[in-house]
Chain A
Amino acid sequence: MSNEEKDINKHTKSEKDRVFNEEFLPHINSMYNFGYRLTFDEDDAKDLVQDTYLKAYRFIDSFQEGTNAKAWLFRILKNSFINDFRKKSKQPAKVDYQEIESYYNSDDVDKTITTDLRVETVQDMIGDEISNALNSLDVDFRTVIILCDLEGFKYDEMAKILDIPIGTVRSRLHRARNLLKENLRDYANKMGYK
């Protein structure tokens, strides 16, 4: 290996493996959950997570140890989903994003929802209801809820993962929560909760 190549590949194989095992692999459950909630398909989610980890390994030299590995991995997964997965996937969309985006982009969803949704009603809900309510959100809104509420990322981390300004994170989250509350209220009404 020439000196130049040594400079490019800063990590040796064993160093790469150590960083990979210690910093990256512990996030596999969160990564899979994110992948699954983006694709709604177990095999697609596995492929997406596997691709993400292979990319992470290949570009491990651009990861700075001590920085947030989980956020770095989520950013790669999100980009893989947008750039590779959605382009490759020519199958009929499991969710018709365009159709629902036009609805979600209407002004109605900016109104703050202060419906009759009660805390007791929310607490009585079972997993399927909240999970379905989350899954029925458009991918951009679903993503901010996953990052913030499921994974506990801070707003500034979300801004980096999604490549959007922090103000957009906040407004998107606000919209997403309004929509989620609307979905939950619909479930509550259907189930006859008071």
Chain B
Amino acid sequence: MNSFLSKFVKKFKNNAECPEKEKCLEILSLVVDGEANSEQKTYVKNHIKDCMPCNKEYEVEKAIKELLQEKCVGKAPSDLLESIKTKINQSPI
């Protein structure tokens, strides 16, 4: 493939919707969740180099997961642990 054609193909891939969107997104989620096998990981790694829509989806999914982990976890109130221990000590064996 000459360089002009390869650039054209790459540009087309970058802007068009991924023809295998559903399949890709399913595998992207597996990768983001650490559930993908090595074949699926390789597929995603290679695919998102050229497919901008999937690349974007992958980055968005990762960012949402990171944000959830960072912002949506909290600590139990300090009195809860003591209250549980007290109840346990009062309970029969």
Contact = CB atoms under 8 A, between A and B. Distances in A.
B16 interface: no
Contacts of A9: 93
A50 B85 CA distance: 9
A114 B57 contact: yes
Contacts, number: 113
Given A29-B74, A118-B56, A53 B68 contact: no
Given A127-B72, A130-B67, A20 B88 contact: yes
Interface string A34-58: 0011000010001001100110011
A119 B56 contact: yes
Interface in B45-69: 53, 56-57, 59-65, 67-69
Given A9-B93, A114-B57, A150 B72 contact: yes
Count class of interface residues, chain B: 35 or more
Contact of B21 (A53, A114, A125, A180): A114
A83 interface: no
* Overall SS of chain A's interface: helix
* Overall SS of chain B's interface: helix
Given A117-B60, A181-B60, A123 B84 contact: no
Given A49-B80, A154-B35, A112 B22 contact: yes
A46 B21 CA distance: 43
A69 interface: no
Nearest to A134: B72
Contacts of A17: 88
Contacts of B61: 177
